[in-house]
């Protein structure tokens, strides 16, 4: 399907090679805490929590960390109260940027994000300023390994996926947001080892950027990715190549 930008590829490579484990764990712990607070500790009856726990396992997070996060979410253990927030804006060359955050202080987070975006040549916009440029989709990723592409395609569609594509060393299965866990479960039952299953904002159209402006965009996107409160960064940026 259309909508995978060069930045998405770079982000996945970065995550696979040099992502800070502490940032990954912290983001998952926040997600588990919020999911448990909103939907309870029973993962069988809380799809969001089940998804977060599955991603924790994929990241090799110790079970003790998962259990503590759940108990903090339900109030069985004291802990910080995290909130969800989304921010939107434009980067250099006018590329759209959509950010999902998990924070214990929205005022601090938005101030720091505004500072970063302004510092690197962009501007923070109002809610709704760029979100209309994206579709929310489930994205299930696993290594291509020795899987036959035709068989993967058939299994994914039978599981309820909307689309599948090979990108680099990975297969990426796209689903309706409501179907992500059922598709994941079915694929795992067929023997596929899932690396991640996330709800992502996929750009409807990509914006080509001249090569001389790419570096400033990538610097900004990486700075946002590294921010402790930012769960995910999405953009419609695409290179001129």
Interval 229-239: pLDDT, tens: 999 999 998 87
- Give the CA distances from residue 159 to residues 1, 52, 60, 152, 187, in Å, rounded to whole numbers and listed in that order: 18, 20, 26, 10, 7
- Residue 95's Cβ-count burial label (10 Å; 0-12, 13-18, 19+) is buried
Interval 178-230: pLDDT, tens: 999 999 999 999 999 888 888 999 999 988 888 888 888 889 998 998 899 99
Q: Domains plus CATH for the chain?
A: 83-132+205-239 (3.30.70.980)
Average pLDDT of 112-141?
A: 93
pLDDT band at 8 (very low <50, low <70, confident <90, very high): low
Cα of 149 vs its chain's centroid, Å = 24
């Amino acid at each position: 399907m259309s909508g995978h930008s060069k930045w998405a590829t770079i982000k996945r490579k970065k995550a696979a090679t040099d992502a800070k484990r502490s940032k990954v764990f912290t983001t998952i712990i926040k997600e588990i805490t919020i999911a448990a607070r909103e939907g309870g500790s029973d993962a069988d009856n809380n799809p969001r929590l089940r998804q977060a726990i599955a991603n924790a396992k994929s990241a090799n997070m110790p079970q003790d960390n998962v259990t503590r996060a759940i108990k903090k979410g339900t109030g069985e253990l004291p802990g910080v109260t995290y909130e969800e927030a989304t921010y939107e804006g434009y980067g250099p060359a006018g590329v759209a940027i959509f950010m999902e955050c998990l924070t214990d202080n929205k005022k601090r987070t938005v101030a720091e994000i505004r500072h970063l975006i302004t510092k690197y040549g962009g501007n923070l916009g109002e809610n709704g300023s760029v979100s209309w440029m994206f579709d929310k989709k489930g994205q299930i990723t696993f290594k291509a390994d020795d899987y036959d592409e035709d068989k993967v395609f058939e299994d994914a569609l039978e599981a309820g996926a909307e689309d599948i594509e090979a990108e680099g060393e990975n297969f990426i299965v796209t689903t309706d947001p409501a179907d992500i866990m059922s598709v994941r479960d079915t694929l795992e039952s067929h023997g596929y080892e899932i690396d991640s299953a996330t709800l992502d904002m996929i750009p409807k159209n990509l914006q080509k950027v001249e090569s001389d402006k790419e570096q400033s965009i990538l610097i900004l996107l990486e700075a946002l990715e590294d921010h402790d409160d930012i769960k995910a960064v999405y953009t419609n940026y695409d290179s001129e190549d």
